[in-house]
A and B are shown apart, each in its own frame.
Chain A
Amino acid sequence: MGVTLLTFFLLHLAPGNLAQTLAGENAAPAQVARITHELGLDQPLYEQYGVWLGKLARGDLGFSYRRQASVASLIGERIGRTLLLMGTALLLSIVIAVPLGVYQAYKRNTLFDRVASGIVFIAWSMPTFWLGTMLIAMFAVQLHWSPVGGLQTIDTTAFDWRSRMAHLILPAITLAVVSLAGWSRYIRGSMVEQLQEDYIRTAIAKGLPIRAVLFHHTLRNALIPFITVLGGTIPALFGGAIITEQIFAYPGMGQLFWQSAADRDYFTLLGMTVITAVLVILGNLLADVLYGIADPRVRYD
């Protein structure tokens, strides 16, 4: 609840006015003032907050005058799309990062490790929009392997799996590249630490197959803190990546946020914050449960 209060006040601190956007650039200031009154935006802040909270309690997330739709419908449309994009990106980066990190830890300080680290560092340091635009220029424009942007084919409004995947590829890769670097460094570090543990050394000395050692023991233990860190990325999962969504014309939560911020569409922004906060809390609970399952030493009674 603190989140909403914070957001509410922050929003209203920003200069600019929803009424202004609605009235249009050329409207007389008197018109803007009238709309402000109409929307109840000239009430004292705490009153506005109270009104909004009341509506929320009744399950009403608000109405976006700027977009002429209920906030709930706007969010409902987009949250699935963002989840799909961020989920795919997360999956991609984990699928590559974990084996890479493990292998790097196993072969640490060899040439492979150094080269891989170098590449990973470069990936870590790339501005997302640069990468995104380069990918578009190369894969979409030159090679026509992928569409430039958008959600899916315009031939239908129904959910078309193939076309959605095709449109997801480039933005997912863009997002994955940057986060992959972070994950692989983390896994590598964690694995290296584990490999130093005595019981692991004993296992190796005893002659157990490396693969078994690596995966059954070390990885398991290294994954535990990994889950908590994963939990930290949950806000992003629902919040979306603003820049990436803009570049790839992907109509998700990030884009909605950015446009609403530019329009000063308070109702939408507040609604988004609430939903995101709720989902984050749920996500963290889930992470805690998984943590409990993964580590038998930690059990809540």
Chain B
Amino acid sequence: MIDARRVRIEPMAAISIAWIAIALLVCWIAPLLAHLDAYATDVAHAYAQPSLAHWLGTDGLGRDELARLLAGGRITLSVGIVAALVAMLIGTIYGALSGYYGGWFDSTLMRVVDVFLSVPTLFLLLFLAALFNGSVLTLMLVIGFTAWLGPSRLVRGEVLTLKERLYIEAARSAGASDPRIIFRHLVPNAMGTIITTTTFMVATAMLAETALSYLGIGIRLPTPSWGNLLSSAQSDIFARAYWLILPPGFAILISVCAFNFVGDWLRERQG
């Protein structure tokens, strides 16, 4: 699967991986080190410009913007990653089973996927998000739940091609049980596609969280997330509080970009 001639690391991919690692590290570790409270209000110092006391200034209620950015990063990144993992898990199992068994089982399963696909994603997201409260966990599940459709198709495709390979025939004639074949042989060989797709899913999930928070059904205030930081800052656009608008915007942009780069690099590597 991996073409040995192309293993040289692309600079953009390297930078992206570095960024992701740094972001993860900073968002989780830094607040422990530096006493940053994302919730303490200090109304007398609202809308303060960046200074030594507050590196990124304060928001409308005097909360430290840097602390909120990092706390928001924890939430957005974890939502993105977990949602992607949930999506891949469901999609992989669904697609693998569907592709392996084939026949009417396959058609029915894929028909169900089609039904869901004919509803525009955002519609589905809205239904589910408005249904359940805005806790981080339910959001992860909701986004994951709407995102598994695409991957399931891909995994199914992979399984279909792999199924015909000789070694599978060999395994089956050796008496291996179905689940064993699926999980020990087929899935690991589709791993390349799976990992690549997961990476792209993280990017999509993060953008989905942003969109939902903008519409008010994602992470709810006062819990910060990059999405709702950006949308509440947009209303402050006339306050010309650039320190509130730019950091979350760039954080989202660069992080999503980074995941996309890595995903693309992985796809190239697959040959």
Residues of B within 8 A of A21 (CB): none
CB distance from A278 to the nearest CB of B (A): 10
Range of interface residues on B (Cβ < 8 Å):
35 or more
B119 A129 Cβ-Cβ under 8 A? no
Q: Which residue of B lies closest to A283 (CB)?
A: B118
- Scan A1-44; emit 1 where CB is below 8 A from any B CB, else 0: 01100110011011100000000000000000000000000000
Interface of B is mostly: helix
State in angstroms the CA–CA spacing of A254 and B127 once bound together: 14
- Asked if A3 and B117 sit within 8 Å, CB to CB, the answer is no
B215: which of A14, A117, A121, A242 is its contact (CB, 8 Å)? A242
Partner of B118, one of A117, A121, A281: A281
Given contacts A10-B127, A14-B130, contact A125 B253 (CB under 8 A): yes
Looking at the complex, which one of A121, A236, A242 makes contact with B257 (CB distance below 8 Å)? A121
- Judge if A79 is at the interface, Cβ distance under 8 Å: no
Is A133's CB under 8 angstroms from B237's CB? yes
A11 and B260: CB pair below 8 A? no
Which A residues are CB-close (under 8 A) to B241?
Answer: none
Q: Do A243 and B211 touch across chains, with their CB atoms under 8 A apart? A: yes
Which B residues are CB-close (under 8 A) to A117?
A: 12, 264
Q: Are B215 and A258 in contact, CB atoms less than 8 angstroms apart?
A: yes
The number of inter-chain residue pairs (CB within 8 angstroms) is 98
Give A133's nearest chain B residue, CB to CB.
Answer: B234
Closest to A234 in B: B118
Q: Please give, as numbers and ranges, the residues of chain A lying within 8 Å of B267 by CB-CB distance.
A: 189
- How far apart sit A133 and B245, CA to CA, in the bound complex (Å)? 12
Is the pair A243, B120 in contact by a Cβ cutoff of 8 Å? Answer: no
Give the shortest distance, in Å, between A229 (CB) and chain B (any CB): 11
Using an 8 Å CB-CB cutoff, how does the interface string of A244-287 with B read, 1 for contact, 0 for none?
00000000001001100100000000000100110011000000
The answer to the question of A207 belonging to the interface, with a C-beta cut-off of 8 Å to chain B, is no
Query: Closest A-chain residue to B153, C-beta based?
Result: A232
Q: Please give the number of chain A residues whose Cβ is less than 8 angstroms from any Cβ of chain B in the complex.
A: 41
Given contacts A121-B260, A124-B257, A124-B260, A243 and B214 within 8 Å (CB-CB): yes
A235 within 8 A of B: yes
Q: Are B120 and A276 in contact (CB under 8 A)?
A: yes
The answer to whether B210 touches A127, judged by C-beta atoms less than 8 angstroms apart, is yes
A185→B253 contact, CB < 8 A: no
Smallest CB gap from B214: residue in A = A129
- Please determine whether A122 and B257 come into contact, CB atoms closer than 8 angstroms: yes
Q: CB of A147 within 8 A of chain B?
A: no
How many angstroms between the C-alpha atoms of A114 and B15 in the bound complex? 14
Given known contacts A2-B115, A121-B260, A276-B120, A130 and B203 CB-to-CB distance under 8 angstroms: no
With contacts A11-B127, A133-B234 taken as known, whether A3 is within 8 angstroms of B115 at the C-beta atoms is: yes
In the complex, B199 has a CB within 8 A of chain A: no
Whether A239 is near chain B, meaning CB under 8 Å from some CB there, is yes
Q: Could you say which residues of chain B place their CB within 8 Å of the CB of A185?
A: 264
Please tell me if B249 contacts chain A, counting CB pairs below 8 Å.
yes
Report how far A281 CA is from B115 CA in the complex, Å.
10
- A127 touching B211, Cβ below 8 Å: yes
Q: Judging by beta carbons under 8 Å apart, are A122 and B253 in contact?
A: yes
Q: Compute how far the CA of A295 lies from the CA of B231 in the bound complex, rounded to whole angstroms.
A: 46
A239: min CB distance to chain B, Å: 4
Whether B256 sits at the interface, judged by CB under 8 Å, is: yes
Residues from chain A with a CB closer than 8 A to the CB of B123 are 239, 257, 273
User: In the docked arrangement, what's the CA distance between A204 and B251, Å?
Assistant: 45
Distance between A61 CB and nearest chain B CB, rounded to angstroms = 17
Tell me whether B9 is interfacial, beta carbon within 8 Å.
no
- List A279-301 residues whose CB lies under 8 Å from chain B: 280-281
Rounded to whole Å, the gap between the CB of A43 and the closest CB of chain B is 21
Contacts of B252 in A (CB 8 A): 125, 127, 130
Per-position 1/0 for A133-147, Cβ under 8 A of B? 100010000000000
Flag if A14 contacts B230 (CB, 8 Å): no
Residue B61 interfacial (CB < 8 Å): no
A95 close to B (CB within 8 Å) = no
Q: Are A235's CB and B119's CB within 8 A?
A: yes
Chain B, residues 96-131, CB within 8 Å of chain A (1/0): the string is: 000000000000000010010111101100111011
State in angstroms the CA–CA spacing of A77 and B6 once bound together: 54
Q: Tell me, yes or no, whether B207 is within 8 Å of chain A by CB.
A: yes
Q: How far is the CB of A8 from chain B (nearest CB, A)?
A: 11
> Among the listed B234, B256, B260, which residue makes an inter-chain contact with A129, where contact means beta carbons less than 8 Å apart?
B234
Contacts of B260 in A (CB 8 A): 121, 124-125
A128 at the interface (CB under 8 A from B): yes
The answer, yes or no, to whether B261 is at the interface (CB within 8 Å) is yes
Which single member of B115, B227, B234, B257 contacts A6 (CB below 8 Å)? B115
Asked if A129 meets B127 with Cβ closer than 8 Å, knowing A232-B117, A235-B117, the reply is: no
11 A-B Cβ contacts within 8 A? A7-B119, A14-B127, A14-B131, A121-B257, A121-B264, A122-B257, A125-B253, A127-B207, A130-B234, A137-B237, A236-B120
Closest 9 CB pairs of A and B: A239-B120, A125-B256, A125-B257, A280-B118, A127-B210, A235-B120, A2-B115, A10-B127, A129-B214
